[in-house]
Structure 1
Amino acid sequence: MSKSSSNRTNPKYEPQAASNTSSYVLIGLGLLVVAALIIGGFIWQSSSKDYPPVDDKVLAENASFIVGERTAPETIDVFEDFACPHCKEFEEQSGQAIMAKVDEGKVRVRYHMLNFLDGESESGDFSSRGAGAILCVARSDGRDAFWNLHSQLFEKAEGDPSNAEIAKLAAAAGAGPQSQKCIADGAAVEDARTMADASRDQLSNSTGGEVSTPTVMSASTVVDGILDGTGWLDELIANPPKS
């Protein structure tokens, strides 16, 4: 099965365990049921596990990048994966609108770059390496460099660029030499993986175990309609959910 056909079987881009169709035929119907439960792990577990409340401190500490004033009346958490085509669509639809609201002081945004789609890239780790690159920029550069590189990585995801190529993209995006070296060396990738795991756990707590990208969360509540244009953002600012 090609990677593109694999994506179509998982349109919500939820993390799932791998399966082996040929083994299902050999082991019979009884184990098929067990395998199905494993495949749907993030969803099926939601009925048998109690999830703790979302910890805002954990979200703040594990955001890949934060933009906007602390005094902004609304804070949102955006969960994305660079290998997720729907995340690219979300960026194309809402990226500029989010930037505008940040500039107006109306919203503070915490970006969480997840990596459960690493296996969809030829390298097997593009999501993690992209998240690491963003973390390098977060530690050394400003928001313009972040936003530029963030958009570029979605555009270049299908080509699965190397660390060296991502470093060049970062340079063109306005990142300085320190960030470029950090990206080329893959120096922040492991930190990015750790942060992605922590962020994914908090998203899972909010949804009762269902994790998908893109997702926007406000006051521990998932925001609806984020792929239907930018109306979700205006509605959120006008009528924020209660904490």
Structure 2
Amino acid sequence: MTNAKRPRENPNYEPQAASKRPYFFIGLGLLAVTALIVGGIIFTNNKTYPPVDDKVLAQNASFIVGDRTAPKTIDIFEDFNCEHCKKFEEQSGAAIWENVIDGKIRVRYHMLNFLDGNSKSGDYSSRAAGAVLCVARNDNREVFWKLHSQLFEKAGDDLNNQQIAALAASDGASPATQGCIASGELVDEGRDMASASETQLSNSTEGQVATPSVLLAGKQVEHIMDGTAWLDDLIAGTQPTG
């Protein structure tokens, strides 16, 4: 549906004598506009979303932690420039990690980048997502976990690549990872993966994309910002999903 511009007021307008002809065409115009509006609403309301593709989610996860044999696999969608994600990490990060270590869950992290424009650099979310990919290529999950947490601690700081590389170094990242982050080697790949993951999240939520979000078997997990009860319920099999 197109957005109609509001007519500008014409100071030189002078009323003309009324006639049937102008009103006839005006009436047709209103009918056409109404039809377009109604058509747009019908199109929007009838838009369909395909089922979530688990294979796409697996292929485009920025980092995967946990045993393949874990009874539950969840997909977590975050943006490193997201304040709500920072809160989610503070509330649930340690509990998620504990359950990964205990073999109760497998987690696929999807680092999105739709908040790039909220950073001064214009691409912080993408660069941070690329940094995580560098860790995925070269280091273990402990390095990922530490860097993941530190980047959320600094959410909103718009670190440059060298600063992110320095954080990774302090977390035990290899020289290869540090060089990869500093050069921005995997930023474009991170963008592509973010786009593919965001599409799957959109399919699950009928277009209501937001971070943080958690999916279980392609369905959105509820109440994830209310402490860690959502995770306890998920492991117990009593977690409601949308």
Scaled by the length of structure 1, what TM-score is found? 0.81
Give the secondary structure class of the aligned counterpart of 1:198: helix
Change over 3 Å in CA distance of 1:45–1:175 after alignment to 2: farther
What's the counterpart of residue 88 of structure 2?
90
What do residues 16-66 of structure 1 show as CA deviations (whole Å, max 9, x unaligned)?
xxxxxxxx9x94179xxxxxxxxxxxxx98623211110000000000000
Aligned partner (choices 151, 155, 158) of residue 156 of structure 2: 158
Instruction: Choose which of 102, 126, 129 in structure 1 pairs with 2:127.
Output: 129
Question: How far does the alpha carbon of each residue in 1:163-208 deviate from its partner, in whole angstroms, 9 at most, with x for none?
Answer: 0110000001111100000000000000000000000000011111
State whether residues 167 and 180 of structure 1, in contact with CA within 8 Å, keep that contact through their aligned partners in structure 2.
yes
User: 1:222, 1:53 → 2: CA distance?
Assistant: 13
Counterpart residue type for residue 141 of structure 2: R
Residue of structure 2 equivalent to 1:10: none
SS at structure 2 position matched to 1:159: coil
Distance 2:43 2:113 in 1: 20
Alignment match of 2:100 (pick from 95, 102, 105): 102
SS in 1 for 2:155: helix
RMSD (Å), alpha carbons: 2.2
Over 3 Å counting, the alpha-carbon distance change for 1:29 and 1:108 in structure 2 is farther
> 1:155: how far off?
1.5
Match of 1:48 among 46, 52, 59: 46
Are the counterparts in 1 of residues 222 and 240 from structure 2 also a CA contact under 8 Å?
no
CA contact (8 A) 1:168 1:180 kept: yes
Q: Residue type matched to 2:225 in 1?
A: L
From 199, 202, 208, give the equivalent of 2:200.
202
Residue among 219, 226, 230 paired with 2:228: 230
Q: State the distance in 2 between where 1:103 and 1:86 align.
A: 25
**CA spacing shift, 1:118–1:225, aligned 2, 3 Å:** same
SS at match of 1:157: coil
2:134 counterpart letter in structure 1: C
How far 1:156 moved relative to its partner?
1.7
Q: How far does residue 154 in structure 1 lie from its aligned partner after superposition?
A: 1.1
SS at match of 1:78: strand
The structure-2 alpha-carbon separation of the partners of 1:58 and 1:29, relative to structure 1 and needing over 3 Å to count, comes to farther
Question: 5+ residue gaps in structure 1?
Answer: 1-23, 31-43
The DSSP-based 3-state class of the residue aligned with 2:130 is helix
Deviation at 1:242, TM superposition (A): 10
Q: How many residues align?
A: 206
Does the aligned pair in 2 maintain the 1:46–1:208 contact within 8 Å?
no
Task: Show the counterpart of 2:11.
Answer: none
Identity among equivalent pairs (%): 62
- CA distance in structure 1 between the aligned counterparts of 2:166 and 2:79, rounded to whole angstroms: 21
Label 1:238 to 1:126 Cα distance change in 2 as closer, same or farther (>3 A).
Answer: same
CA–CA separation in structure 1 for the residues paired with 2:56 and 2:88: 24
Corresponding residue for residue 190 of structure 1: 188
**Whose Rg is larger?**
2
Deviation at 1:127, TM superposition (A): 0.3
Query: Within the alignment, does 1:58 sit opposite 2:36 as a pair?
Result: no
- Amino acid aligned to 1:84: C
The offset of 1:67, in angstroms, is 0.2
